[in-house]
A and B are shown apart, each in its own frame.
Chain A
Amino acid sequence: MSTRLATGGRLINRARSVEFSFDGKRLSGYEGDTLASALLANGETLVGRSFKYHRPRGIIASGPEEPNALVGTGEGGTFEPNQRATTTEVFNGLTANSQNAWPSLQFDIGGINRIMSRVFPAGFYYKTFMYPRFAWKHVFEPFIRKAAGLGAAPTGKDVDKYEYFYAHVDVLIVGGGTSGLAAALEAGRSGAKVLVLEQTNTWGGRAPVDGVDINGVSAEDWITDAVSELSNMDNVTLRTRTMGAGVYDHGWATGYERLTDHAPEIGGPRHRLWRIRAKRIVTMTGAIERPLSFAGNDVPGVMLAGAVRDYATNYGTSCGDVMVVATNNDDAYRTAIAQVQAGLSVAAILDARVMADGALVAQARDMGIRVETGAAISKVKGSKHVTGVAICAQAGEGTPTEEIKCDVVAMSGGWSPIVHLWSHCGGKLNWDADQAMFRPDPARPPLGADGNGFVIVGGTANGYLDAASAMKDAVAQGRKAAKEAGHKPAVAKAVKAVSVAESAIEPIWQMPQGMSVKLQTKTFLDYQNDVKVSDVRLAAREGYESVEHTKRYTTLGMATDQGKLSNINGLAILADSLNAEIPQVGTTTFRPPYHPISMGAIAGDARGDLFKPIRKTPMHEWITENGGFFEPVADWRRPYCYQHEGESVKDAVHREIINTRTNVGLLDASTLGKIIVKGPDAGKFLDMMYTNMMSTLKVGRCRYGLMCTENGFLSDDGVVARLDDETFLCHTTSGGSDRIHAWMEEWLQTEWWDWKVYTANVTEQYAQIAVVGPNARKVLEKLGGMDLSAEALPFMAFKEGEIGGIKARPFRISFSGELSYEIAVPASDGQAFWDMCIEAGAEFGIQPYGTECLHVMRAEKGFIMIGDETDGTVIPQDLNMQWALSKKKDDYLGKRAQQRSHMADPSRWKLVGLKTVTPTDVIPDGAYATDGTIRDNGVKHMIGRVTSTYYSPTLDRGIAMGLVEFGPDRMGEIIDFPTLDGKIIKAEICDPVFLDPEGARQNV
């Protein structure tokens, strides 16, 4: 079993131990350990259960490619499922728990699926759960949902903080191994602005583990010098614990920085999502080792050879006392040699190649290690841990010739360059048959805004697996990146890496080559999703020839590791099954992120009170403190009503209506859009924007206007005031201010750019306060400063001056049918003016009112509301607003479209008023009118719909407006509105103006 070695471990600090827990068990490790290395050091080799068959699983890898060792970390508000033990750093107090096992890791009841594995082949769910149809929702799905899944979703609110950071650089280098550092040195010395991202906490990558020398010193020493030189460059930023997550169009990339995962006590944001724009992106992401496909290759204790070496060299941890190595290449021999050098034993190296004669092979033989060529593992022995292997000839079908006892199997199927980031944005790959791997095709890179390739790949990731050529390539690519980013590389300094030469790999896609079907069902390709060699072969037999189809049918590569270990092996098996070549089958699509990133990082700071900006008027605080019951109106919050203590919302609305109609009410109308339109051509321009004639409006007067889209549909309405000969002030709806301003600018900039008109959005310059009701004038006269009599300021006029000592522009406009002044004051004085009105109005019964009161009062007057009477399909003619469509003008936006045959159809639903026959009835919102007939499709024939409906306290009855077929011709007719509870509300078609049709109340 695995244990801590007495010495060694370049990344751990033996002077500082840390305490952590795994499944409630208290364990200790060293500072610098990953959770995986610490678990191995504690002899914990069983870390999880597989997804489908609940097979016992152990740690396979030492990096983000790890498929098995997924744990939940933290508790409550810091709980995070599916964290890889191999990328989780241990710290004092870390709590980790295994997943997908119940009731316990050692005894998992779901393991029954393992015994049943013969009935769970590829496509099992698709095949089994089709009939009967009703059973899917009620029987199969709930069961599958309960049994499936990885870690549990967190239930508590995430207590951590996350943020974005936007960075612009010349050269982004992803990967801080020796290649990345060499490239960074070249780019940095050229003066380019460089950002280097390394996903682990350590610079240098694998070179120190593999015994590479650079420029005559150990890799470790060279790395120290390189990092020191880079740290001293002002134009270079180095970031560890930051993974290059994705590459996107036009040189955009994301980086995932984990700031506090390794030390929660330091505070600050937990993760930072770097959003990077780079002129060139250099991916120096190295390679991932492939597993070998032999029976029982998922038994805990079977590990990647490189990982076993990592644990020994980096963490001073042995993965077992007696090792068997299975390989098809020379690199795995390094693991065997390291094992012996650590004082442990290697029972045998099983090399599938017939010939093995490289320098590393010779070295192993010289050390007395038993090397078997042309050999393979027939089957791994053991269930919760490896106890031995049965060996056989690679050339055969798997008949065991011998059993060898061991407690760790180190396997290597060769290395695959990490091409994910190269491929994210369209970089293409070539199959390198000699090295049995896909590598980037430099002739087909992802293209940037200038049409040139913007991703450059180098080093091992570029297919140079030996240290010398990888380093040579890295230097060249670093210089290329600097040059393409507009900088001149400095005089080249040779960087020479030396490692032991290796002999050729032999591609081995299953072991032994003729393995029986029985062995295939125990040979795993995708550990996380439990996809076996037999599954892929079955998929091929069933006609899934496309790799993308096979992936979805078998779920190969669809787990959280996205097939980092399984994809190449899987598609090689598929190619073999189809009798095709590997490049013909091709790869599945690589999509970002490279490795899962937290939802918190994706959300950044947009959560809680920063999730969505809320627009507040100058009186917002006062409204909040005075019973305001808010509703969203576009991005604004407006009070629906002001609730008195103990009062219901409905009662508050009724009180506000009666008070405003009887005494005086006060409305915060600041949200209305206000746009200045000025210039010699302003009148001509507004004649195009509005359906009405605006150019004839007299200075000092107001006119209500409609705006339509070019499709003829109503888009906004409001009152226009002419401030002077060349200047108009256009009011828009609350939701329309930005949209209408942009609409005006669009026409001025892109169609009529020769017209002399300027606009400015002054919506927020003013607090607009409506004083409404029979006592409105009395309140304002008490404040003084301006003659507000009917003669001095008649209906539909405005004045400028001061009221109560505050600069004010009162408009005599009314949306309620009452005597009404809408007074614009500077926003900074809004609250002061509001306070004055409340104080002065006390003796006249003033009360603030909200939007619902406003809505009911306008409906009582038959005034339309954009968004109620209109929905993007309604034209002014539908609302009987022909009076607002100027006939004197040649054109206005939407005029031509309103003449299309369908728009002119007399049977279009038209606006009418509706009075419920039983006055206490109120038609529900959105109700449709029917005529009692049924259409061919079995649906009730609809002849209209309600657009606004309220109980009117003024009239003490239900009132509504609606669009009804031939409505205006059917006055007095009674029509039916069926309700959802099966009743029918009867309503009489009437004029939509329910109150004061003569306008006597407002015109005083």
Chain B
Amino acid sequence: MSSVTALNGATSNGIINVADAGLMGMITLRGDLASAGMAKAVKAATGSPMPAMRQITTGKSGAAAWMSSDELLLMVDYADADAVVAKISKSLGAAHHLAVNVSDARAVFNLPGDQIRDVLAKGSPADMSNDAFPIGEVRRTRIGQLAVAFWFTDAQNAKLVCFRSVGGHIMRWLENASEIGSEVGFH
């Protein structure tokens, strides 16, 4: 199969590095996040527990990120996404929910480096300090004029997700914001 990401393998190096994270399975799951059935479905799909408000949890086969009071973003292997959607729908049965494969609707970036917070703070009005935005939390905000979500996987690595059509723009923005010589040294 000749599936390609919006970024098509693009990378850049600077005060942080920026890299296409490749194809990633993503599922928008909406429903009653407080229900036992939902927790069970999330666990079955990703191996991770139900994330609390703004949290991201990871498990054996994926991760679950809290997007809003009735919405999660599940991350699984790209090839498994449709099967996982079917599995969730079966598991939730008649319970009111929506599960849909959105793997191809996004661009995903890997951001390794020790100045990630400073670089993102050049475009996002969100408080990027570790107190306000610790590892394990997802922040939905904007970079310049575009909606994005990002989270740290560890102190030196973050992932950023945006809509596919503007992946190229965000790539250029990150490349520009992480140019050598533009270090801020705040966070």
Indicate which residue in B96, B118, B173 contacts A605 across the interface (CB closer than 8 Å): B173
Check if B31 sits within 8 Å of A758, measured CB to CB.
Answer: yes
Q: Which residues of A have CB within 8 Å of B163?
A: 615, 764
Which of B41-49, B52-60, B97-105, B152-160 is near enough to bind chain A?
B97-105
Whether, in the assembled complex, B124 has its beta carbon less than 8 Å from a beta carbon of chain A, the answer is: yes
Check if A268 sits within 8 Å of B100, measured CB to CB.
Answer: no
Indicate which residue in A237, A762, A805, A832 contacts B100 across the interface (CB closer than 8 Å): A762
Whether, in the assembled complex, B172 has its beta carbon less than 8 Å from a beta carbon of chain A, the answer is: yes
Check if A193 sits within 8 Å of B145, measured CB to CB.
Answer: no
Q: Is the interface of A mostly helix, strand, loop or mixed?
A: mixed
Whether, in the assembled complex, A137 has its beta carbon less than 8 Å from a beta carbon of chain B, the answer is: no
For A, the interface residue count at a CB cutoff of 8 angstroms equals 50
Check if B2 sits within 8 Å of A612, measured CB to CB.
Answer: no
Whether, in the assembled complex, B86 has its beta carbon less than 8 Å from a beta carbon of chain A, the answer is: no
**CA separation between A193 and B2, bound complex, in Å?**
50
Check if B122 sits within 8 Å of A166, measured CB to CB.
Answer: yes
A825 smallest CB distance to B (angstroms): 9
Check if B96 sits within 8 Å of A680, measured CB to CB.
Answer: yes
Whether, in the assembled complex, B35 has its beta carbon less than 8 Å from a beta carbon of chain A, the answer is: no
Given A610-B169, A610-B173, A613-B169, A168-B132 contact (CB < 8 Å): yes
For B, the interface residue count at a CB cutoff of 8 angstroms equals 54
What 1/0 flags go to A192-209 for Cβ under 8 Å of B?
010000000000000000
What 1/0 flags go to B83-105 for Cβ under 8 Å of A?
00000000000001110111111
Those of B102-119 within 8 Å (CB) of chain A? 102-106, 118
Q: Which residues of A have CB within 8 Å of B172?
A: 609-610
**CA separation between A756 and B70, bound complex, in Å?**
12
Check if B125 sits within 8 Å of A828, measured CB to CB.
Answer: no
What 1/0 flags go to A602-638 for Cβ under 8 Å of B?
0001100110111111100000000000000000100
Check if A165 sits within 8 Å of B121, measured CB to CB.
Answer: yes
Check if B23 sits within 8 Å of A266, measured CB to CB.
Answer: no
Given A760-B100, A764-B105, A765-B101, A828-B186 contact (CB < 8 Å): no
**CA separation between A764 and B169, bound complex, in Å?**
15
B127 smallest CB distance to A (angstroms): 4
Q: Which residues of A have CB within 8 Å of B149?
A: none
Those of B1-53 within 8 Å (CB) of chain A? 1-6, 23, 28, 30-31
Those of A820-854 within 8 Å (CB) of chain B? 826-829, 831-832
A272 smallest CB distance to B (angstroms): 7
Q: Which residues of B have CB within 8 Å of A163?
A: 122, 177, 182
**CA separation between A609 and B169, bound complex, in Å?**
8
Check if A164 sits within 8 Å of B2, measured CB to CB.
Answer: no
Those of A753-809 within 8 Å (CB) of chain B? 756, 758-760, 762-766, 805-807
Q: Which residues of B have CB within 8 Å of A763?
A: 105
- Can you name the residue of chain B whose Cβ is closest to the Cβ of A252? B125
Q: Which residues of A have CB within 8 Å of B181?
A: 266-269
How many A-B pairs have beta carbons closer than 8 Å: the answer is 139
Check if A237 sits within 8 Å of B186, measured CB to CB.
Answer: yes
6 A-B contacts (beta carbon < 8 Å) = A166-B121, A609-B172, A613-B146, A676-B98, A762-B102, A829-B104
Given A193-B129, A605-B177, A765-B104, A617-B98 contact (CB < 8 Å): no
Check if B4 sits within 8 Å of A828, measured CB to CB.
Answer: yes
Indicate which residue in B2, B118, B177 contacts A829 across the interface (CB closer than 8 Å): B2
B128 smallest CB distance to A (angstroms): 7
Q: Which residues of B have CB within 8 Å of A267?
A: 180-181
Check if A764 sits within 8 Å of B165, measured CB to CB.
Answer: yes
A164 smallest CB distance to B (angstroms): 6
Whether, in the assembled complex, A442 has its beta carbon less than 8 Å from a beta carbon of chain B, the answer is: no
Indicate which residue in B82, B98, B106, B173 contacts A760 across the interface (CB closer than 8 Å): B98
A32 smallest CB distance to B (angstroms): 23
**CA separation between A679 and B183, bound complex, in Å?**
49
Check if A613 sits within 8 Å of B144, measured CB to CB.
Answer: yes
- Can you name the residue of chain B whose Cβ is closest to the Cβ of A275? B125
Check if B179 sits within 8 Å of A268, measured CB to CB.
Answer: yes
**CA separation between A612 and B183, bound complex, in Å?**
24
Whether, in the assembled complex, B135 has its beta carbon less than 8 Å from a beta carbon of chain A, the answer is: no
Check if A636 sits within 8 Å of B98, measured CB to CB.
Answer: no
Known pairs A606-B144, A609-B172, A762-B105; list 10 more (Cβ under 8 Å): A268-B180, A605-B123, A610-B144, A610-B169, A614-B169, A760-B100, A764-B163, A764-B164, A764-B165, A765-B101
- Can you name the residue of chain A whose Cβ is closest to the Cβ of B168? A616
Check if B125 sits within 8 Å of A758, measured CB to CB.
Answer: no
Best-surrounded residue of A269, A616, A764 (most CB of chain B within 10 A): A764
Q: Which residues of A have CB within 8 Å of B185?
A: 237
Indicate which residue in B125, B126, B164, B176 contacts A827 across the interface (CB closer than 8 Å): B164
Check if B128 sits within 8 Å of A166, measured CB to CB.
Answer: yes
**CA separation between A760 and B71, bound complex, in Å?**
10
B147 smallest CB distance to A (angstroms): 9
Indicate which residue in B3, B128, B182 contacts A828 across the interface (CB closer than 8 Å): B3
What 3 A-B pairs have minimum CB-CB distances, sorted nearest first? Answer: A268-B181, A615-B165, A758-B98
Check if A615 sits within 8 Å of B184, measured CB to CB.
Answer: no
**CA separation between A760 and B106, bound complex, in Å?**
14
A159 smallest CB distance to B (angstroms): 14
Indicate which residue in A269, A614, A829 contacts B182 across the interface (CB closer than 8 Å): A269
**CA separation between A617 and B167, bound complex, in Å?**
10
Q: Which residues of B have CB within 8 Å of A164?
A: 122-123
Whether, in the assembled complex, A678 has its beta carbon less than 8 Å from a beta carbon of chain B, the answer is: yes
Whether, in the assembled complex, A167 has its beta carbon less than 8 Å from a beta carbon of chain B, the answer is: yes
What 1/0 flags go to A245-271 for Cβ under 8 Å of B?
000000000000000000000111100
Q: Which residues of A have CB within 8 Å of B3?
A: 826, 828-829, 832
Q: Which residues of A have CB within 8 Å of B98?
A: 676, 678-679, 758-760
Indicate which residue in A605, A618, A676 contacts B122 across the interface (CB closer than 8 Å): A605
